Amino acid sequence: MKCEDQWCAAPVNVHRVNWIWGNKQILDENGIEMPTTWEEFNAAAEKLQAAGITPLAHGGQNWQDATIFETVVLGLGGPEFYQQALVDLDTEALTSDTMKQVFDQMRTIRGYVDDNFSGRDWNLATAMVMNNEAAFQIMGDWAKGEFLAAGKQPGVDFVCAPTPGEGFLYNVDSFAFFELEGEDKQQGQALLASLIMGPDFQKTFNLNKGSVPARTDVALDDFDDCAKQSNADMTADAENGSLLPSYAHGMALRGAPAGAITDVVTAHFNSDMSSDDAVQQLADAVANSM
């Protein structure tokens, strides 16, 4: 990875953020397929609620709110709209009817979480899906690491699908290297970078983390179907321009603008703020953060 044209970090993985995870038993018992549109998700959630099942496991923390928000922006607006709104911070996109529809969907989603969601850690929300306490979770593929660590099998105990819509939101974990003096220290950095980028480390790390290797030449024979789909989608989306940086996880924006967006998203999610007010507050918050 480069920072201002200088090598500065060694990436260990690529996480896909826009995943939805499902409890296979609950879905099968209620005749529900993994949703491919937000309308299908809403219909499934209504059916689950009617059966007395919590549709969506969620932790009421601002970054988790932002994670759901960006998947809805991508799903309803498409890759080009996502780029305009959450990467380029285009005012017209931020105040558009599409963004109002995003907040409408966020308000709908708010009705599908349980009453005790506030402050819940993401892995505890994942445990709700594991333990038949909720049907779905919208979370990056680090959630799969929790499923696998608990001995759950993809396609047997849980199922995965991209959140409704097109595109791939990525988050890359990496080790940053600072400029050091002294040949021994520089050699140490070079050795560490070489080990991190080595195919053995990339394979072992990602099998445990739930992500896919940053190296594109690592064989995926031992990876599960969710990882293989993630890798295939990443390649395809890179070719068609819909491989996009996650704003919620620090890839698209730096500093104040990201925080300003998240503040509005969380305020809306935890109040009765209208979608009209939300888009105006969103545009104002971004403008004031620049």
* Nearest one of 5, 74, 25 to 233, comparing CA atoms: 74
Residues 158 and 285 in one domain: yes
CATH number at residue 67: 3.40.190.10
168 contacts: CB under 8 Å, gap ≥ 6:
16, 18, 162, 233, 234, 237, 242, 243, 244
Task: Using the CB atoms, write b or e for 136-165: b if 16+ within 10 Å.
Answer: bbbbbbbbbbbbbeeebebeeebbbbbbbb
Q: Domain range for residue 165?
A: 17-170+243-289
180/165 same-domain check: no
Residues, the chain, total?
Answer: 290
Residue 150 and residue 261 share a domain? yes
Assess whether 153 and 92 both reside in one domain: yes
For residues 120 and 103, give the distance between their C-alpha atoms in angstroms, rounded to a whole number. 22
Q: Name the pTM for this structure.
A: 0.94
| Domain C-terminal end among 220, 239, 258 | 239
One domain for residues 97 and 149: yes
Domains in the chain: how many in total? 2
Verify that 42 and 160 share a domain, yes or no.
Answer: yes
116 and 58 within one domain: yes
Residues 156 and 230 reside in one and the same domain: no
Q: Looking at the structure, do residues 142 and 208 belong to the same domain, yes or no? A: no
Q: Are residues 276 and 208 in the same domain?
A: no
Q: Which of 127, 115, 138, 114 is nearest to 53 (CA)?
A: 114
Instruction: Please check whether residues 42 and 139 belong to one and the same domain.
Output: yes
Q: Per-residue pLDDT tens, the chain, 290 aa: give them.
A: 888 898 899 999 999 999 999 999 999 999 999 999 999 999 999 999 999 999 999 999 999 999 999 999 999 999 999 999 999 999 999 999 999 999 999 999 999 999 999 999 999 999 999 999 999 999 999 999 999 999 999 999 999 999 999 999 999 999 999 999 999 999 999 999 999 999 999 999 999 999 999 998 999 999 999 999 999 999 999 999 999 999 999 999 988 999 999 999 999 999 999 999 999 999 999 999 98
From 199, 223, 239, the end of a domain falls on 239
Q: Check if the beta carbon of residue 164 is closer than 8 Å to that of residue 36.
A: yes
What span, in angstroms and rounded, lies between the C-alpha atoms of 143 and 238?
23
162 lies in the same domain as 47: yes
Written as six digits, the tokens of 89 are 């911070």
